[in-house]
Amino acid sequence: MPQPTQRTRPGAAAALVLLLAATAGCADAQRPAAQPPHPQDAQHSPASGAAPARRPFTLVATGDVLPHDSTIARAKSDATDGGYDFRPMLAGVRPIISRADLAICHMETVYGPDEGPFTGYPAFKAPPQVAAALKDTGYDSCSTASNHTLDDGADGIAHTLKAFDRAGLQHTGSGRTAAESARPALLTAGGAKLAQLAYTYDTNGYPMPDGQPWAVHLIDQKKIVADARAARAAGADIVVVSLHWGTEWQDEPDQQQLALGKALTASRTGGRPDIDLILGTHAHIPQAYEKVNGTWIVYGEGDQIAGEMFNDSGARDSRGNMSSIARFTFAPPVRPGARWEVTRAEFVPQWIDVERGRVMSLPAALATSPGREDYTEALDHIRAAVLSRGAAKDGLTMSR
């Protein structure tokens, strides 16, 4: 397992306290302006200075955003201003993402400078307009730790996070400074404060930039637990960990995923789990969901945006254009000191139509095109993969 590249810094917990405190009273403020307020918020609006009313909320999460050359070309042809527009690509799933109280994505690649050049595989530099499209689709935060985070060194990280800041997206997993890297993404919904952390198994052999050992978060069990406990101690009600892990093109989670997932979900402080949800990416294909030690793990969501995908044998593999949208409903603790519980777990099969350059909800697509055999085959494969470790017995259901 990779060795840790970060160390606990004096004052990090204090910084987290200030950051988490700053999110209080801002529940749901990051949703699109067109999103109506939740009726319970109107009925139980807290007095000035009081804690926000607590209510159940939904969190959705999706897989790798991996713009290949063909994806970048599609965004250019979709733009009307001579630039790049990725919004039409994601329009088919925007209703699902924007209706959730919180939405988390995974930005696998870094961005180039505003003027380009932009490149796909093997060393990615995507147009920074991706960030604006993600925000417009309804995302609140994205993990940025992946094996491609150092494809353009420190410059790639800087361009990416600058675009995220400009779009109003939270981010975690990489940083331009040690202080920024040490901060989780901080979100609020339903009166809960949520901290998102992110880590990757490797950076394709690229070393950390000179003098920046903190630039990208590498997977290390002790470090992840320490970060989760620091976030909890600083006031986070819910801790979500995004992990870029696993074996590409392998349907089943590998031994590292199984062992690390088991260890992280078993970690507790005062009887309370340190981590409330694990979201996995990297395998390029949909993998199983599983409830381990009472905590949900999504081993691999698959690719949300990608061009034609070719597996390890060099063959065109349609699984690389399949993924799932995870949706979890969290409910407030039933007693003081208890965790926010997931009371509903769902997944939505998702597919990239590479010929049209469009991402779609397969259940919604089949409702309007019931005779499409390719849609049915893709949905069946995703459902089988997601449920392959018995998640249905713990209440996981397919939705749309």
pLDDT tens sequence across 313-343: 999 999 999 999 999 999 999 999 899 999 9
- The answer to whether residue 76 sits within a structural domain is yes
Q: Is residue 45 part of a domain?
A: no
Domain that holds residue 220: 61-398
Residue holding tokens 């390890």? Answer: 312
Q: What is the pLDDT of residue 51?
A: 64
Are 383 and 349 spatial neighbours (Cβ–Cβ below 8 Å)?
yes
Amino acid at 256: Q
- 39 assigned to some structural domain: no
Average pLDDT, integer, range 8-19: 43
For residue 77, what are the contacts with CB-CB under 8 A and spacing of at least 6?
A: none
Domain membership of residue 101 (yes or no) is yes
d(CA 347, CA 398): 5
| Angle subtended at Cα 128 by Cα 127 and Cα 131, rounded to the nearest 5 degrees | 125
- Residue 53 has a pLDDT of 86
Residue 14 lies in a domain: no
pLDDT at 28: 37
pLDDT digits 0-9 by tens, 348-371: 999 999 999 999 999 999 999 998
For residue range 274-300, what is the model confidence (pLDDT) as tens digits? Answer: 999 999 999 999 999 999 999 999 999
Residue 136, domain CATH: 3.60.21
When pLDDT is cut at 50, 70 and 90, the band that residue 311 belongs to is very high
Give the pLDDT of residue 35.
34
Question: pLDDT averaged over the chain?
Answer: 90
Which range, of 10-14, 18-22, 156-160, 334-338, averages the lowest pLDDT?
10-14
Does residue 383 lie in a domain region? yes
Q: How many domains does the chain have?
A: 1
User: Does the pLDDT of residue 26 top 90, yes or no?
Assistant: no
pLDDT at 186 over 80: yes
**Residue 383 burial (10 A CB sphere; 0-12, 13-18, 19+):** middle
Lowest mean pLDDT among 13-22, 117-126, 148-157, 341-350: 13-22
Start-end of H helices in the chain: 12-22, 39-43, 69-78, 87-90, 94-99, 129-137, 153-167, 178-182, 221-233, 255-266, 362-368, 373-386
Task: Give a yes or no: residue 82 inside a domain.
Answer: yes
